[in-house]
Amino acid sequence: MSALLEVEDLTFTYRRATHPALRGVSLVVEPGEVLLVAGPSGCGKSTLIRSINGLIPHAYSGTLQGQVRLDGRNVAEMRLREVARYVGTVLQDPAKQIVGATVEAELAFGPENLGLPRTDIRERIGEVAERSGIRPLLGRETAQLSGGERQLVAVAGILMMRPRIFVVDEPLANLDPVTATRLLGILRALADAGEAVVIVEHRVEDVLDLRPDRVLYLDDGREVYQGAVAGFLAVADPRAVKLPFDVVLERVRQESAGGRSPGPLAMPWPVGAETPRGAPLRLEFVDVRAGFGAQEVLHGISAGLGARETVAVLGPNGSGKTTLFRTAMHLLPVTSGSILVDGASTRERSVAELAQVFGYVFQSPSQMLFARTVREELLFGPRNLGRDPETFDALIADVLRRTALDQLEGILDRPPLTLSFGQQKRLALAIALALHPVTLLLDEPNAGQDHRTATRFMAEVAAIPQLESLYFVTHDVDLALTHADRILLLRDGRVVADGPPARVIEDEDRWIGCNLRPTSLMRANARWRAGQASFLDATTLAQWVVTMERPAGARQTGRGGLGSTGR
């Protein structure tokens, strides 16, 4: 069989860019193959996807060298309609992909545009809904779905098209671990049936369940490695890519044996202690019920979040995590119950007033972006609040540095929607920080971020002087355990657990019942640090293990890293 996909010496420079986004990349994907594309944020992964699905050169202007061929045909010479028969793309941000008002309308959209008979479309909807596990979502409006549910619908919409190549861009960020495993199973089955899968993902440990045939590792638009998974694990930087703990530990052991010290221990910022009784609460939910029309999502939730706490909210897709934050910001009305901020009801407070207390970063950053340039986005809030214009330059410099956007050339004059998903996510945080809130509400803060950027992101958040508390929704179990001193566990719109991470994960049946899986880092912390209240991230834990393995007189200990900025 001929190759389904051939990329030959591909170089592309966007119209206004000064450097190529891709530099001489070549690859071949055969029927039945799974290719994992990994690398740090901004390394060219999204540009590669746009080249495969025809958006480059048909929708993005720039200088293109080399070729992309689908089943032997040059993409540059094909119409996008033709490319769509070969390539199905699932975007990072499902909000940009879904166009149908209902789930059924979304599933039917692609086949209708291909002119399929209505009876065939109905049959496909039933088949795909069963295959993708979204049958319970049929009949729902897409605007009322959670981010994870939208991601599943986006995947189902591509399955409806029956392409030969499935290109999936960071599909796991919006999915709980069990649902993510189901999606990976679907992709594996497609490959086993002879289709090709190209998957871009930062969470390498999780995507290894897909059993990729090869890995393409990019950095600065160039190929760093292309080959088998074992070779990739041997060369990938565990500080930049999230790898299984045993791989990280072996790497640190090799560094130590080679004479390179693992360095001082960087102890974690959470202490795992409960908020003392009588301590002030920043945000309190009292028997709150809320939802969309007749669809109730929160069923009488009561919870108090401390004024000086880091709280992670976990739970299955559709359990009400995002809805909880949206009600706090008056972006969704409550049907009963009350919400208190610093002890006072929010009933008479406007969204603008709440935004000065809470810096809220949406799950989909594009929902926050509307101005012509990044500079205008950052200054919109301060200007409307009457802040001193003399402080604006210093304000912009500070928020760009904290979100690592200062490294992007000409960032202030760029239109926000031309940024990558990960860059938009960081811009959304910068917008929130520009209002100097005392608490941050972050929805999936590490979505679109490579491991190094996410780690720096959380460290910079912890170091913000005026920030008193942080509440975040995540499906990344390790992020929650290593950065939160308290976990709020939701299921079916109700709180099923609330307490320090070490205590919440004691009930493994409940943990698994909330679509969460024990990770290699969880197991390693339990093995090496049994009885400790706090969790260490993979690199720090590996350093700790290697240090403990050395003779007592040779050990070097200390405190640093995130520990120096903990609350």
**pLDDT band, residue 270 (cuts 50/70/90):** very low
521: left (phi over 0), alpha (psi -120 to 50) or beta: alpha
Share of the chain above pLDDT 90, in %: 59
Return the minimum-mean-pLDDT range out of 98-102, 202-206, 247-251. 202-206
pLDDT surpasses 60 at 22? yes
pLDDT in tens, 156-173: 999 999 999 999 998 887
- What pLDDT, on a 0 to 100 scale, did the predictor assign at position 365? 85
Query: Per-residue pLDDT averaged across 481-501, rounded?
Result: 94
SS3 303: strand
**SS percent in the chain: helix, strand, coil, step 5:** 40, 20, 35
**Where is pLDDT greater, at 30 or 241?**
30
The most confident of the ranges 59-73, 274-288, 360-374, 523-537 is 59-73
Query: Per-residue pLDDT averaged across 238-267, rounded?
Result: 76
Share of the chain above pLDDT 70, in %: 93
pLDDT surpasses 80 at 272? no
Encoded tokens for 71: 């089943």
- What pLDDT, on a 0 to 100 scale, did the predictor assign at position 277? 56
pTM of the entire predicted model: 0.84
Q: Is the peptide bond before 57 cis (omega within 30 degrees of 0)?
A: yes
**pLDDT band, residue 498 (cuts 50/70/90):** very high
**Where is pLDDT greater, at 417 or 9?**
9
Query: Per-residue pLDDT averaged across 249-267, rounded?
Result: 69
- Neighbour order of strands in the sheet with 310-314: 358-361, 439-443, 469-473, 310-314, 486-491, 494-499
- What pLDDT, on a 0 to 100 scale, did the predictor assign at position 259? 65
- What pLDDT, on a 0 to 100 scale, did the predictor assign at position 260? 62
Structural domains of the chain in order of their starting residue, each with its CATH number? 5-236 (3.40.50.300), 238-267+536-567 (no CATH), 280-357+437-533 (3.40.50.300), 371-436 (no CATH)
The most confident of the ranges 270-274, 461-465, 527-531, 535-539 is 535-539
Q: Compute the mean pLDDT over every residue in the chain, rounded to the nearest whole number.
A: 88
**pLDDT band, residue 552 (cuts 50/70/90):** low
**pLDDT band, residue 280 (cuts 50/70/90):** confident
Cβ partners under 8 Å of residue 335, min gap 6: 289, 290, 291, 296
Encoded tokens for 118: 């209505």
Return the minimum-mean-pLDDT range out of 40-49, 227-236, 322-331, 513-522. 40-49
The answer to whether 160 and 125 have CB atoms below 8 angstroms apart is yes
- What pLDDT, on a 0 to 100 scale, did the predictor assign at position 418? 79
Give the Cβ contact number of residue 527 at 10 Å: 11
- What pLDDT, on a 0 to 100 scale, did the predictor assign at position 445? 86
- What pLDDT, on a 0 to 100 scale, did the predictor assign at position 4? 93
pLDDT surpasses 90 at 419? no
Burial (CB < 10 A; 0-12, 13-18, 19+), residue 235, is exposed
pLDDT surpasses 60 at 59? yes
For residue 427, how far is the Cα from the chain centroid?
Answer: 14
Q: What is the DSSP string of 59-101?
A: TS-EEEEEEEEETTEEGGGS-HHHHHHHEEEE-S-GGGT---S
Residue 188, CB half-sphere, CA atoms under 13 Å: how many?
A: 13
Q: Which of 414, 323, 434, 319 is nearest to 372 (CA)?
A: 414
Query: Per-residue pLDDT averaged across 94-117, rounded?
Result: 91
**Where is pLDDT greater, at 76 or 271?**
76
